[in-house]
Copies of this chain bind each other. A is one copy, B any other.
Amino acid sequence: MFVTRSALALSFTLALAAQDAPSTKTMTQPRYVEGKELVQPADYRTWVFVGASIGLSYSESGSSTGPGRFHHVYIQPEAYRYFARTGRFPEGTILVMEVHEPEQKVSINRQGYFEGERRALEVAVKDGETFEEGWAYFDFANGAKKSARAFAKEMCFSCHRQHGADDNVFTQFYPVLRGLKKKAN
C-alpha cells in the first residue's frame, strides 16, 4: 500500500511537472544554413519584449561622450511562457537584441532620449544539439546579413556564462524576466 501510494504520488508529481512546462511545439525554432549558420529570425518584433537599456557597458573606462546606445531585447512568446512557469529557458530559445542610436530634440522633445535608427541586430540561441556550449551568439550586421556564423566562444559565451543571472541570460537587466522569476520561484 505504501509503495502504491508512493507510486501514485510520484506519477502525480511527474504529471504536475509536465503541466508546469508549457508546450514549445509551436515555437519558432532556430534555422541554419551551411551547417551552423543561423538564419536571421523573422517577425521577432511581435515576440515578447523583456527590457531596454542605454549605454550599458562592462568597462570602467568609457570612451563615449554621449549617453550610449539603446538596447532592447525580445524572446519568443512560448519561451517567455516556459520561463514564466519553470524559471528555465527551453531548448530553442532565441533572444534578439536591437541596438538603436539615441535621438533627442525632435518634435516637442527637449530633454532625454528616444530610440532613433537601428544600428545593430544581434541574436543569442540556446541549442545544445548544434553548439556544444549550449548557447551561441550571432551578429547580423544590422540586418544586412541574412545568415551569420556564431562568435567564437571567448567573444560572448564566456562572459554570458559567468555573469548571466540565469542560464547565460542577463535576466538581472530585464525587468520583464525579473518579474517572472518572482512568480516562478
Chain A residues packing against B (C-beta within 8 Å): 45-46, 48-49, 51-60, 62, 64, 67-68, 70, 72, 74, 77, 80, 100, 106-118, 159, 163, 165, 170, 172-176
Q: Which of B49, B116, B118 contacts A74 (CB 8 A)?
A: B49
Q: Which of B59, B113, B174 contacts A53 (CB 8 A)?
A: B113
Q: When A45-B176, A53-B115, A175-B118 are in contact, do A107 and B165 touch as well, CB less than 8 Å?
A: yes
Chain B residues, Cβ within 8 Å of A115: 51-53, 173-175
Q: Which 6 A-B pairs rank lowest in CB-CB distance, beginning with the nearest?
A: A55-B112, A49-B49, A52-B52, A53-B114, A57-B111, A56-B112
Q: Are A68 and B116 in contact (CB under 8 A)?
A: no
In this complex, the member of A70, A72, A174, A175 whose beta carbon has the largest number of chain B beta carbons within 10 angstroms is: A175
Q: When A67-B67, A163-B108, A172-B106 are in contact, do A54 and B100 touch as well, CB less than 8 Å?
A: no
Q: Are B114 and A56 in contact (CB under 8 A)?
A: yes
